[in-house]
Amino acid sequence: MNSILNKEPVKRAQKSIKEFDPNLEIIYLEQTARTAQDAATALGCNVGAIVKSLLFSAGDIFILCLVSGDKRCSLKTLKKILDEKDVSMANPDDVKKITGYTIGGVSPVGLLSKVKIYVDTNLERFTTVFAAAGHPNCVFKIQFNQLVKLTSGEIREIAE
């Protein structure tokens, strides 16, 4: 466990979280939380309270979408919001390069590059949500409105 918490991506996420609110803690899970369902099972919470951090690309720009674990991000909606014809999920290499995290542990904070962040309205159903903290076994619990402030995210209807 300690070796995971000492990994650079987890430390980077933790630094952002602690600077925002020293009371927020990274939760280490024995089981992997690589998928929203895995995380919900490990935490004993509704799968919708799990924040999926999904990176999309539109030409040269990248957008991080924070979507409820029981929803999917709508490409059609993203294309309209961005006024782009070609929007797709970023490939694993770009995810690593832009966020500094590998898929399954992408945190919405401590990103290597500054990207636009959209927070889906569906997450508002939950007072507290759980987001990845740089590793598939690490998450952090945060109130929805705090997550929006922490990420400087824009609340949008992006799920289907």
Whether residue 2 has pLDDT greater than 70: no
CATH at residue 53 = 3.90.960.10
pLDDT classification of 1: cutoffs 50, 70, 90: low
Tally the domains of the chain.
Answer: 1
Calculate mean pLDDT across residues 7-19: 96
Q: 119-129: per-residue pLDDT in tens?
A: 999 999 999 99
Question: How far from the centroid of its chain's Cα atoms is residue 117's Cα?
Answer: 10
- Report the pLDDT value the prediction gives residue 132, as an integer from 0 to 100: 96
Sorting pLDDT into bands at 50, 70 and 90, what band is 93?
very high
- Would you say residue 105 has pLDDT above 80? yes
Q: Are 56 and 145 in contact (CB under 8 A)?
A: no
Which domain, by its residues, includes 149?
Answer: 2-156
Half-sphere exposure of 82 (CA within 13 A, CB side): 25
pLDDT in tens, 33-65: 888 999 999 999 999 999 999 999 998 899 999
- pTM for this structure? 0.95
